[in-house]
Amino acid sequence: MSAQHQTIKAPVAVQTSRTSRPEIVETVADVIADVRANGDAAVRRWSQKFDDWSPESYRLGPDRIAAVVASVPETVLDDLRFVQKQVRGFAQAQRDSLTAFEVETLPGVFLGQRNLPIGAAGAYVPGGRYPLTASAHMTVLTAKVAGVERVAATTPPDRGAPPPVSIAAMHLAGADEIYVIGGVQAVAALALGTETIDAVDMLAGPGNAYVAEAKRQLFGEVGIDLFAGPTEVLIVADGTADPFVVATDLLSQAEHGPDSPAVLITTSEEVGRQTIAWVDKLLPGLSTGDVAGRAWRDHGEVIVVPTLDAAYALADEYASEHVQILTAKPREALHRMRNYGALFLGDKTCVAYGDKVIGTNHVLPTLGAARYTGGLWVGKYLKTVTYQEIRDPASSARLGEICGRASRIENFEGHARSGDVRAARHGSARLDWTDHTFEQS
């Protein structure tokens, strides 16, 4: 950090580790190994232990889903439909931007690209203290827009019963299968398959530290969306920003958990100090103030920088999950920043909109991963594959000759001979490593 930067609120705790605690790693490994070896019996054993939940079937049938959805107030269902329309519309625009193509690179040489959906996806919708109903939109809906044929969604039980709003969200989003299983046992069952749950090709959705570690350990056997850490927010503000708005928006993300970083980078010391004062004033009246207060105390930062150029540069170093721009000309950030999960421009939008209602995906990179990846999007559920076809004999012969020479440079004789065969069959080359000949057409 530059000597010109002034920190007027520093974090108390160290930065969250990118690796899980040893006890979490061990517990997760035990559950995965058990599910791998014992299937449904292991899922039931761990579900009973962790969630006191052992129904006759973990999968909800159509009648049960209909009954659960019917128990949800119509106004809530209307809101779910509205939000899902926003998510679907943006995901569809993303899908439409991905096009197949075929090009002729040499006479008669055609190379092509296709975008194929994966066969099956698993969607984890968290429960517990914060049942992230919106995660159903982000994972299930996005997969279905991509064209995934089978989406299996799961969520933990809520006090011994399926959580109605989460079930409704998964159903309205188009989930083909809905399970009420939580934690590592749910992730392992979807990734590995059991007697009653078919394995999926990819896992998506946020969760606690155990779910995140389970996805980490299973990555490779299945694809995953992201390695997730605590929710992060970073606000870039100039002297035009309203400290009350800044404080409110920082706390909106700090309430996610006690280890959620909330950072303000501002060109105005006055905005910085007034924001701190407003945070202190707002916390006592916030129902989630205990959690948000711990996050602010341990991971909150306020840094004053001399210029907006310095603010954007410093924000890029953080590579935060959510970056909110509260400046006189917020769109400047589009051209000045590169490291963020999602960007929120101006005070008419906010990170909470991205989390809940606006339509962009809220499954985003954390812990600095925004340096090398974006968040979950329709393309995550697609495999970009290529193909080639040669129709012109002369082009095949020419490529065969070059392939032979290029392969022998690398001591790949088998590769070279595949090229030699085409050079001989479709051209005039001779095969000096065999007495086989081709009739010239």
Active-site positions read 321-322
Helices (H), 306-392: 308-318, 332-336, 351-356
d(CA 323, CA 341): 8
Helices (H), 52-161: 62-70, 74-97, 134-136, 142-146
**Which of 309, 301, 314 is closest to 275 using CA atoms?**
301
DSSP 74: H
How many secondary structure helices (H) and strands (E) does the chain include? 17, 14
d(CA 310, CA 19): 30
d(CA 344, CA 296): 21
Note whether 231 and 260 are within 8 A (CB): yes
User: Which sign, positive or negative, has the C-alpha torsion 14, 226, 357, 99?
Assistant: positive
Angle at the Cα of 41 from the Cα atoms of 194 and 203, rounded to 5 degrees: 40
Length of the chain: 441
Measured in degrees and rounded to the nearest 5, phi and psi for residue 61 equal: -80, 170
Angle at the Cα of 320 from the Cα atoms of 19 and 215, rounded to 5 degrees: 35
